[in-house]
Structure 1
Amino acid sequence: MEENATILSGFILVGFTEMHQFHFLIFAVLLSLYMITLMTNTMIILIVKSDPVLNTPMYFFLMHLAFLEACYMSVIIPKLLENLMVKPNVISFLGCAVQMFLFLFFGVAECFLLAAMAVDRYVAICCPLRYTTIMSRNICWKMVTGSYICGTVVGLVHTTVTFRLPFCGVFINHFFCEVQPLLELVCGNTFQNELQVIGIALMAIMLPFLLIILSYIGIIFTIIRMPVLQSRYKAFSTCSSHLIVVVLFYGTASSMYLKPKSSYSPPVDKLLSFSYTVVTPLLNPIIYSLRNKEIQASLRKVVHIVVKIVIPL
């Protein structure tokens, strides 16, 4: 009777039960990482918005990436923090569906936004004389809007199809409502659903990744042909931060979604999910701010202004 009531009301997130003795430590670490990530991404948004020097397509995309990272992490971490302290770890049927949709929406939008950033770097390095014409404000907005639309479509399709399936269990062996762990609870043969997951993942992950690869092939050939070594270094340095972020994000996400359910391993996949839901959003603003002189200069301006206000001469 109790299990039937649970089935009707929602699911139980197993989370990190194998490390239950460390839950307080995990809670403290996660809360700290979450606050740092929110602050750093918010800082990037405010810096880009406030400094006219950063009014370029590259920083326009970076601002939206920071926004996506903050939202992406906020879909997962608050509920995880609650579940670490409250038992049982129940999430309602609707709450699970909303969490899955938002997670997919922000994740897929980030995939396509990273592709847009690669195209921006390609145009800046390979077509510098036409850069301002090609990467106009209108085009930049269309690319960002297209990223959000792709995220919406993939999120709606995945969530609608998944939650129309019959579930034969309530225990999700994961720390949030992700597609692969939920398929473990579906009654009967899920082969078609696995194909759907992999098919959509190929479109949502590999299509923008292919665009990134093609953009960087063009960038590499252009850099090789540059006669001055300093020009080569400057061109590559503008792309290195983006490349690191792409490897971090796509490496973990593709290893989770581009595989059949039979190879699903809860401990390994929890670690992979933790990487792209917690570690990557934390590292991205650090990578961009530490490796970017313009961001550093703008940050110093902001700090100087704040210090003058707080400690007037």
Structure 2
Amino acid sequence: MAARNRTEVTEFVLLGLSNWPEMQPVIFGTVLPMYLVAVMGNALLMIAALSDPKLQTPMYFLLSQLSFIDISLTTITVPQMLVHTLSVNRIISFNCCMLQLFFFMAVGSMEGHLLAAMAYDRYVAICDPLRYSAIISHRLCLRITLTSWVVVSLNSLLYSVLVTRLTFCGNQVTHFFCDITPLLKLSCTRPVVNEMLIFTEGVAVVVSPFFFILGSYARIGVAITHMQSVAALRKALSTCSSHILVVLLLYGSVICVYLRPSSSYNLDQERQVAIFYTVVTPMLNPLIYSLRNQEVKGALRRLFRKLCIPSNF
């Protein structure tokens, strides 16, 4: 078995979110509305941030990019899972599986980089407000976004190429999409190189934005402690609270799934956490940013009026 050539595996079988047939309609009826809410909510937020004159600032440009990432992340995985849920045929070709792995890892990593850029934006706004316009510009945000895309794409390409070089002793993936960890579990031998990359280069690309965010908020915390005005303190906390919550939702699930030894890997727990960061988090992000931001609420009301929808919808 260990000597089998990897090219013998031409397709994979995705076992889905649950192995119980009677649960499939329940899963479909639960996940589909959440997916639609996630796509529509992020699409509205992205359109409002890009089209409303009052939101033409670097912060809302980054927010629009985060909405695009959320739409992409959930669309890469969920539609296929919904089709497979009501289908007997759950096969995905080897090449399509590798493409899904590449795009999922690139888009998922990109979300962390965007959150780091947003943390830097908040740091400058609170700690150096007089120089905010001189430091933070649309050109800088665009440069950060493009550079991050290059970094995460190269990182994802490296992982995908290494996975294609593995020798697989089976083709049943205990997941609802092609993710790195369940694919590594199908390897005939322990994928030492892949695991070393996850805990070295993977930590550098995926987790380094998290440490950057922690550093930014440490500086923000110091600045807040020196604020004399209660109004300024309240405004600073309100500005950061939505971003902090989104960061906790993302990195809590990432650390739980990916940054742990393969010996402690649990298939059922992995699938449960995966549905959280592929559906629940993208659905909650636009709600988190819109419910606590008066400017976004106003932009959405104006967008609804343009679409001939009552503002109290």
User: Per the shorter chain, which TM-score range?
Assistant: over 0.9
1:187 counterpart = 2:188: yes
* Secondary structure of residue in 1 paired with 2:13: strand
- Partner in structure 2 of residue 50 of structure 1: 51
- Partner in structure 2 of residue 19 of structure 1: 20
Q: CA deviation at 1:127?
A: 0.8
Whole-angstrom CA distance in 2 between matches of 1:201 and 1:248: 19
- Partner in structure 2 of residue 108 of structure 1: 109
Q: CA deviation at 1:117?
A: 0.5
Whole-angstrom CA distance in 1 between matches of 2:8 and 2:251: 34
| Residues 305/138 of structure 1: CA separation in 2 closer, same or farther (3 Å cut) | closer
Whole-angstrom CA distance in 1 between matches of 2:224 and 2:192: 45
Whole-angstrom CA distance in 2 between matches of 1:249 and 1:17: 23
Does the aligned pair in 2 maintain the 1:174–1:270 contact within 8 Å? yes
- The residue type paired with residue 280 of structure 1 is T
- The residue type paired with residue 197 of structure 1 is I
1:164 counterpart = 2:133: no
Q: Deviations over 1:136-177 (max 9, x none)?
A: 121111111122112201110110111111111111111111
Instruction: Give runs of aligned pairs for residues 28-107 of structure 1, distance below 5 A.
Output: 28-107=29-108
Whole-angstrom CA distance in 2 between matches of 1:152 and 1:135: 25
Whole-angstrom CA distance in 1 between matches of 2:28 and 2:40: 18
Does the aligned pair in 1 maintain the 2:9–2:168 contact within 8 Å? no
Instruction: Give runs of aligned pairs for residues 214-233 of structure 1, distance below 5 A.
Output: 214-233=215-234
Q: Of the two structures, which has the highest relative contact order with CA contacts closer than 8 Å and spacing of 6 or more?
A: 2
Q: Deviations over 1:271-301 (max 9, x none)?
A: 1111111111111011001111101111122
Q: Deviations over 1:14-40 (max 9, x none)?
A: 113433202112112211111111100
* Secondary structure of residue in 1 paired with 2:251: helix
Whole-angstrom CA distance in 2 between matches of 1:122 and 1:205: 21
Whole-angstrom CA distance in 2 between matches of 1:132 and 1:143: 16
Q: Deviations over 1:106-127 (max 9, x none)?
A: 0011111110000010011111
Structure 1 window deviating more from structure 2 (297-306 vs 83-92): it is: 297-306
- Partner in structure 1 of residue 147 of structure 2: 146
Whole-angstrom CA distance in 2 between matches of 1:301 and 1:16: 39
Q: CA deviation at 1:308?
A: 7.5
Does the aligned pair in 2 maintain the 1:7–1:169 contact within 8 Å? no
Q: CA deviation at 1:7?
A: 4.8
The number of aligned residues is 306
Structure 1 window deviating more from structure 2 (195-204 vs 123-132): it is: 195-204
| Residues 308/12 of structure 1: CA separation in 2 closer, same or farther (3 Å cut) | closer
Structure 1 window deviating more from structure 2 (13-22 vs 103-112): it is: 13-22
* Secondary structure of residue in 1 paired with 2:308: helix
* Secondary structure of residue in 2 paired with 1:307: coil
- The residue type paired with residue 190 of structure 2 is N
Structure 1 window deviating more from structure 2 (99-108 vs 198-207): it is: 198-207
- Partner in structure 1 of residue 205 of structure 2: 204
Does the aligned pair in 1 maintain the 2:159–2:194 contact within 8 Å? no
- Partner in structure 2 of residue 290 of structure 1: 291
- Name structure 1 gaps, 5 residues minimum: none
For the aligned residues, what is the CA RMSD? 1.7
Identity of aligned residues (%): 38
Does the aligned pair in 2 maintain the 1:65–1:110 contact within 8 Å? yes
| Residues 17/275 of structure 1: CA separation in 2 closer, same or farther (3 Å cut) | closer
Does the aligned pair in 1 maintain the 2:28–2:85 contact within 8 Å? yes
- The residue type paired with residue 69 of structure 1 is D
- The residue type paired with residue 36 of structure 1 is V
Instruction: Give runs of aligned pairs for residues 226-305 of structure 1, distance below 5 A.
Output: 226-305=227-306
Q: Deviations over 1:78-135 (max 9, x none)?
A: 1101111111311100010000000001001111111000001001111111111111
- Name the structure where helix makes up a greater proportion of residues: 1
- Please, what TM-score do these two structures have when normalized by structure 1? 0.94
Does the aligned pair in 2 maintain the 1:108–1:147 contact within 8 Å? no
| Residues 308/249 of structure 1: CA separation in 2 closer, same or farther (3 Å cut) | closer
Whole-angstrom CA distance in 1 between matches of 2:8 and 2:78: 24
- Name structure 2 gaps, 5 residues minimum: none
Q: CA deviation at 1:70?
A: 0.0
- The residue type paired with residue 185 of structure 1 is L
Structure 1 window deviating more from structure 2 (38-47 vs 139-148): it is: 139-148
